[in-house]
Structure 1
Amino acid sequence: MQVHRLGGPGDFDPLLEQARSARVVMLGEASHGTYDYYRLREQVTRRLIAECGYSFVAVEGDWPDCDMVHRSVTGAPDGDADPQTALERFTRWPTWMWANTEVARFCRWLRAWNLDQPEPGRAGFHGLDVYSLWESMQAILDFLGEEDPASLELAQEAYQCFEPYGTRVEEYGLASRFVSARCEDEVVRLLARTRERAAHDGAGSFSAWQNAEVLVGAEKYYRAMVGGGPQSWNVRDTHMADTLDRLLERYGPDAKAVVWAHNTHIGDARATEMNRDGMVNIGQLARQRHGAENVVLVGFGSYQGTVVAASRWGSPAEVMTVPPGRAGSLEERLHTLLPERALLILSQSDRPDWLTDEADHRAIGVVYDPSFEAWGNYVPTRLGDRYDAFVWCDDTTALHPLPASPSTPGEMETYPAGV
């Protein structure tokens, strides 16, 4: 193990050395509402793109919303001149995950950097998640209406299948348990058609194909969600891993990806209690699919501070106090061992026992109650097996949400909630 004090972007050199020969770097966060994680992750990502040739950033967000940002940062003719304008149009709760000043600053930098590059070499910004059923449906209808009217009927059939459930698509999952209410055939036929077009056409067809993949994933997700257990989580993370692989193929054989997501998604599930519960995540799947030597998983954590979160699902965001890490946790140990800001390179040799022993590791979702710290909000973890590197911030502050569009509550997420 190596410990490096962090004071500026240049101090990430040891991490960039790891990343130069990798194909995927996943940068985590222990919450969705901490300024320090977003800011440090931005510093690393700028260098990965500018110095190491990384091709795109893929985030734990919805494909249609992130596609607006992608068009802006790549200078597409129909893209916003300011990426913040696109971020302010995010409507699915919790908007603050991506509609915040930290992401806006990075996207403005990315647009400026891209506009100095030839179009084929511009770095993209994409969403990996599975929740945008209706938004993806509308995007497909709009695309086919303009580009492929002959296939519009397929999309309309899928739309009509889900329409009785309105925006409460979880009711579709419940109905599918008791009656023949499944829309699987309709979305699979639509996927086959958009996949066929994407094989021959340009970026617009690829985006329609991805939106169709979202419909397939969402249909599976809502059916699995009502059954409980780990299956809906696995559907979601497998969808995100599949989307990442499609993007790597789309960008070409030399493509490299940066992923931004919660630690619970990017830290290898096999090194946590998630594995015992039968759960997988994108960090584990990336290592298995691309080889551990081609994937760098970077976790983030802190001892105390403030965070933006909500007290219950769909509630307004608020700034909450994050209490000191509880006794016996990784956070407590790192607080005693490390400087205020530090980078740990977790090599497979020269590892102290506490890197391979299981200890509690804090995970804060978009729904958070600090009073649960005594018995919740932690994931038992073998830190040295879960990540390849770890960024430590002893005392952190809350991020800064943008004045985004009024948000809708969105769909309930599965355990671990809100990550």
Structure 2
Amino acid sequence: MPKDATLHQRHITPELVAALARHGEPLPPPEESEAFGAFFDRFGDARVVLLGEATHGTSEFYRARAAITRRLIERHGFTIVAVEADWPDAARIDDYVRHHAARPWRGPAFTRFPTWMWRNTEVAAFVDWLRGHNEGSTSADRVSFHGLDIYSLGESIHAVLTYLDRVNPEAAAAARRRYARLTPWQDQPAAYGSAVVVHGRDSCEDAVVAQLRELLVHRLDYMRNDGEAWFDAVQNARVVRAAESYYRVMYQGSTESWNLRDRHMFSTLQALLAHRGDGAKAVVWAHNSHVGNAAATAMGWEGQFNIGELCRMAHGDEAVLIGFGTDTGTVAAASDWDQPMEVKTVRPARPDSYEHAFLRAGHDRALTEWRNRKGPLARILQASLARERAIGVVYRPETELQSHYFDAALAEQFDAWVWFAHTAAVTPLDGGRPHGAPETWPFGL
């Protein structure tokens, strides 16, 4: 549907508000983890459950996703947690929760802007729980934690070379030659894209593709020694390939770079499911803009797709897409990219938004589900088109309409919605390691 087609139809009807009030199921606070999580048992038959967030800095969203994920792991056999974070940073958490030995890294994890997105007390609490949950399980049965994103060019190059140094020094030397022209840009990858696209430098595309191919061609030899280590190296090589493309494509337009990024996230999720084998089930934590079906939003009408849409196409009804929303409160966000985190006040939702409809429905916290597309709530939602708010790592309340709202058809975008009328900002971690925490604790500086 073209974006312009929604403009004259955008409104919130009394019928929609009444339906949301009637079908919304009041939720306990997310800190009552068992009671909160029990409401989500209905999604336990899915292969992939994607949990969104309307901001990258709201405590309730993180705590709710933690409670839901705990339930899906404990009661429904989910084995993978995959998040909107870089693969090497998330690998620190994976080592910690699966009780692996520490491995060499270039530097501390989660230090790139926005640090608060994963370096916060809410994530740390979930990670500690997951480590405890895994303690009594066999190595093969432990729940793993992974990053889906592509922004770790330097750390991923380092990971590939470190792996090959250990298992095949000759192949490591060849990898260094392939990565040599890209390595000077590894800490300023956007400058690499500019050098190639704007200033005519040769790209490193062929070299990074060749390195990934080399790891795949010799997979049987490498997997005989350590299949987990090989898989990690391959995923890092895939990140290098995707990042090299991304920083060139970003100069061609936002649609191309967005699609490349979400295609990589989806491919990584698929690789994880295949790697964990038959019966593997995944929970995804990412922003609503990645989790909700892009085809039902203005971004999709303008040519963008996302991991939620790709999961629907690949897994059908076995993919469940759950959005999150709020009206007012505070949020951890910056005023501009690469600027310090602030605790900002979230403005009340616009009257022509879905958030305002949920507010008018009267629930402080609620789960509203419409997976049955022929049910009464789904039919009412299908007749509505409204704005939806998306706050990322940057929040500009003074230009909120232009910066943070977009048109959406909620009925097709998600299968369910988790609502909090009032929310608070996440609490960033300091740099210290807690007393008694093991060496692999992933958040130390």
State the match for 1:323 in structure 2: 347
Tell whether 2:249 aligns with 1:224: yes
Q: Please give the residue correspondences for 1:172-183 in structure 2 after superposition, counting only pairs within 5 Å.
A: 172-177=192-197, 178-183=199-204
AA in 1 matched with 2:190: E
- CA drift of 1:179 comes to 2.3
2: CA distance, partners of 1:358 / 1:265: 19
What RMSD over aligned residues (CA atoms) do the two structures have, in Å? 1.8
Task: Give the alignment partner of residue 284 of structure 2, picking from 244, 255, 259.
Answer: 259
Asked which structure has the greater CA Rg, the reply is 2
- CA drift of 1:315 comes to 1.0
- CA spacing shift, 1:249–1:258, aligned 2, 3 Å: same
393-402 or 189-198, which deviates more: 189-198
1: CA distance, partners of 2:73 / 2:36: 17
- CA drift of 1:241 comes to 0.1
2: CA distance, partners of 1:65 / 1:265: 20
Q: Please give the residue correspondences for 1:12-411 in structure 2 after superposition, counting only pairs within 5 Å.
A: 12-17=37-42, 19-78=43-102, 89-165=109-185, 167-177=187-197, 178-199=199-220, 200-201=222-223, 202-291=227-316, 293-346=317-370, 347-348=372-373, 349-351=375-377, 353-404=380-431
Cα deviation digits, residues 274-317 of structure 1 (max 9, x gap) = 111100000000111122x1000010000100000001111111
2: CA distance, partners of 1:133 / 1:11: 38
- CA spacing shift, 1:29–1:224, aligned 2, 3 Å: same
- The answer on whether the counterparts of 2:37 and 2:70 sit within 8 Å (CA) in structure 1 is no
AA in 2 matched with 1:269: A
TM-score, scaled relative to structure 2: 0.86
Helix, strand or coil at the partner of 1:156: helix
TM-score, scaled relative to structure 1: 0.91
AA in 1 matched with 2:160: I
1: CA distance, partners of 2:280 / 2:186: 39
AA in 1 matched with 2:206: D
1: CA distance, partners of 2:150 / 2:51: 20
Give the share of equivalent positions with the same residue, in percent. 42
- The answer on whether the counterparts of 2:330 and 2:423 sit within 8 Å (CA) in structure 1 is yes
- The answer on whether the counterparts of 1:95 and 1:404 sit within 8 Å (CA) in structure 2 is no
Cα deviation digits, residues 137-167 of structure 1 (max 9, x gap) = 0111111111111211332123311134352
The number of residues matched between the two structures is 397
- CA spacing shift, 1:298–1:79, aligned 2, 3 Å: farther
- CA spacing shift, 1:113–1:236, aligned 2, 3 Å: same
AA in 1 matched with 2:46: A
1: CA distance, partners of 2:402 / 2:162: 48
Helix, strand or coil at the partner of 2:181: helix
2: CA distance, partners of 1:127 / 1:404: 21
- The answer on whether the counterparts of 2:37 and 2:71 sit within 8 Å (CA) in structure 1 is no
AA in 2 matched with 1:238: R
Residue segments in structure 1 that go unaligned for 5+ positions in a row? 81-86, 406-419
Residue segments in structure 2 that go unaligned for 5+ positions in a row? 1-18, 433-445
